[in-house]
Amino acid sequence: MKDRALRGLAECQRIAAMTEEPGRITRRFLTPPTRDVHAHLSARMESLGMIVHVDAAGNLHGLSHPQGASEKRLILGSHIDTVPDAGAFDGVLGVVLAIECVDLVRQNGLPLALEVIAFSEEEGVRFGVPFLGSRAVAGRFDSALFELKDAEGVTLEGAIRAYGLDPARIAESALDEDTLGFVEIHIEQGPVLEAEHLSVAAVTGIVGQTRLTLEFAGQANHAGTTPMNLRRDALAGAAEWIAAVEKLARRTEGLVATVGKIEASPNATNVVAGIALMTLDARHPHDAVRLGAVNELIEMANSIAERRGLAMQSTRQMDQPAVSMDERLTAYVVEAIEAAGFPPKRMHSGAGHDAMVVASRMPTAMLFLRSPGGISHNPAEAVRTEDVEAALEVMSVFLQRVAGEVR
């Protein structure tokens, strides 16, 4: 498996060079580097005899159907878009290892049909809404999404057309439900496996997530002539609220809450800020706790705004419920981990993944690999060769189990 692992890591580095920004890995939904990734992965899929196509949402599909295999196929894959200035392995590793799984099935003569999907969009960077690719595959693509605009004013519908795809055919991207299920291989993006000196783990569930924007509107005014007690400082209100977000998250077990972006206007040294726009990302394994915390934070924002003479408005971009992985497929993953000689670790995912969307369509499981240093969404993101080997060994056992079930 070492040669496969090294090949997979080398593939990730090749794909990392397909970027919008020289010297940085940035690959947003259907931007020009996506074509390069599609061409590269398509060539690899076709070399394995796979039937390749790109659906109307920009997802790349490769189907392998060995002789004697059932019409029911197992779906494998992950995403190929990135955050700005990303690492080389988030999403992409899951795609290249899925292709290696196709080669494993062929090498072992297993009568198992596999479909590999390289999802076009998971991160939500270009249009502010994540999971565009997997929403389409899961039959959950809302036509209202077509009106979303990126920073250049391009609509989502326009981006799809510019790529040469037909947005009117998005509904055709939805997979039929006559499948064996979906499995996503992914780096953990956190420190748990490294802290426990483990290579791999089975994911039992993915935390729920809320994303919203919140705006304080006050009065822009001269910084030197406006007394402190007469200010309606939107940025000062934002600072108070951000501190409240952190305080609530620290005292609520299992809750993580992040204000990751803030924009102040007019954003000048000598002007009291009239507008402060922020984002909130809140996550928890239990939906009631997450939703309760978000509502409390909105109430805090209203209170801060009233006391400071500000107007406040909030808009939710996403309320994604917590998702449990399929018990049967997850049990197979755990059994495969143990059979491959590794401790049968189970854990929740604190990050969102395409698997949480696809799970609404079909049985779904995930396999995590260790993230050295717990670092992801960062150029320092890394993967150890021995952990990739471990993942491939686990998947080899898993695929044999699934193939035996459908014979």
345: its two tokens: 């670790």
Q: Does 264 share its domain with 312?
A: yes
Q: Is 165 in the same domain as 223?
A: no
Angstrom distance (rounded) from CA 358 to CA 136: 9
Distance CA 147, CA 157 (A): 7
The answer on 240 and 134 residing in a single domain is no
H-helix or E-strand containing 22? none
Whether residue 23 sits in one domain with residue 103: yes
Task: Quote the pLDDT of residue 62.
Answer: 98
Which residues, in sequence order, are CB contacts of 261 under 8 Å at separation 6+? 278, 279
* Per-residue tokens: 7: 């090949």
User: Could you report the per-residue pLDDT of 148-179, keeping only the tens digit for each?
Assistant: 999 999 999 999 999 999 999 999 999 987 89
pLDDT at 292 over 90: yes
For 113-152, the DSSP string reads EEEEEEES--S-TTTS---HHHHHHTT---GGGGG-B-TT
Q: Based on the fold, state whether residues 151 and 286 are members of the same structural domain.
A: no
Average per-residue pLDDT in the chain? 96
Q: Please check whether residues 200 and 340 belong to one and the same domain.
A: yes
d(CA 227, CA 48): 72
Strand pairing class (60-64; 179-187) = unpaired
- pLDDT one-digit tens code per residue, 71-98: 899 999 999 999 999 999 999 999 999 9
pLDDT tens string 51-63: 999 999 999 999 9
Do both 191 and 253 map to the same domain? no
Of 320, 344, 377, which one is at a domain's C-terminal end? 320
> Residue 329 belongs to a domain with what CATH number?
3.40.630.10
How far apart are alpha carbons 340 and 336 in whole angstroms? Answer: 6
* Local structure of residue 106 (DSSP, 8 states): H
- For residue 306, give the CATH number of its domain: 3.30.70.360
Buried b / exposed e over 148-171, threshold 16 CB at 10 Å, is: bebeeebbbbebbeebebebeebe
User: Smallest Cα–Cα separation from 310: which of 338, 284, 280, 278?
Assistant: 278
Query: Taking Cα atoms as reference points, which of 250, 273, 247, 248 lies closest to residue 262?
Result: 273
Q: Using alpha carbons, select from 96, 93, 95, 86 the residue that is nearest to residue 27.
A: 86
Q: What are phi and psi of 371, to 5 degrees?
A: -110, 105
Say how many domains are in the chain. 2
- Answer yes or no: do 51 and 189 share one domain: yes
Give the alpha-carbon dihedral of 87, 90, 95, 101, to 10 degrees: 110
Which residue among 320, 353, 383 closes a domain?
320
Q: Residues 377-404: what's their mean pLDDT?
A: 96
First-to-last alpha carbon distance for the chain, in angstroms, is 26
User: Which residues, at least 6 apart from 39, have a Cβ–Cβ distance to it below 8 Å?
Assistant: none
Residue 382 Cα distances to 39, 152, 361, 376, angstroms: 25, 32, 31, 8
**Is 406 a residue whose pLDDT tops 80?**
no
Cβ atoms of 394 and 337 within 8 Å: the answer is yes
Residue 407 has pLDDT above 70, yes or no: no
At residue 320, the pLDDT reads 85
Amino acid occupying residue 17: A
Residues 163 and 17 in one domain: yes
pLDDT tier for residue 397 given thresholds of 50, 70 and 90: very high
The candidate with the shortest Cα–Cα distance to 198, out of 376, 396, 390, 3, is: 390
In this predicted model, what pLDDT tens digit does every residue of 316-375 receive, in sequence order? 988 989 999 999 999 999 999 999 999 999 999 998 899 999 999 999 999 999 999 999
- pLDDT, tens digit, 9 for 90 and up, residues 202-239: 999 999 999 999 999 999 999 999 999 999 999 999 99
**Residue 262 buriedness (CB in 10 A; 0-12 / 13-18 / 19+):** middle
Is the same domain home to 332 and 296?
Answer: no
User: What's the whole-model pTM score?
Assistant: 0.87
Q: State how far the alpha carbon of 298 is from the alpha carbons of 128, 216, 301, 311, 393, in Å.
A: 20, 12, 5, 13, 47
Q: C-alpha angle with apex 177: 138 to 146, nearest 5 degrees?
A: 25
- pLDDT at residue 1 in the model: 86
- Give the Å distances, CA to CA, from 380 to 14, 36, 85, 188, 360: 16, 23, 10, 14, 33
Of 272, 287, 320, the residue at which a domain comes to its end is 320
Classify 270 as helix, strand or coil: coil
Same domain as 66, residue 133: yes
Question: For the residues 110-130, what does the mean pLDDT come to?
Answer: 95
What is the structure's pLDDT at 384? 98
Predicted pLDDT at 317: 85
As given in the structure block, the two tokens for residue 141 are 């693509």
Q: Print the domain residue range for 310.
A: 208-320
Shared domain check, 370 and 236: no
Residue 43, SS3 per DSSP: helix
Alpha helices in 51-137 (DSSP H): 92-107, 132-137
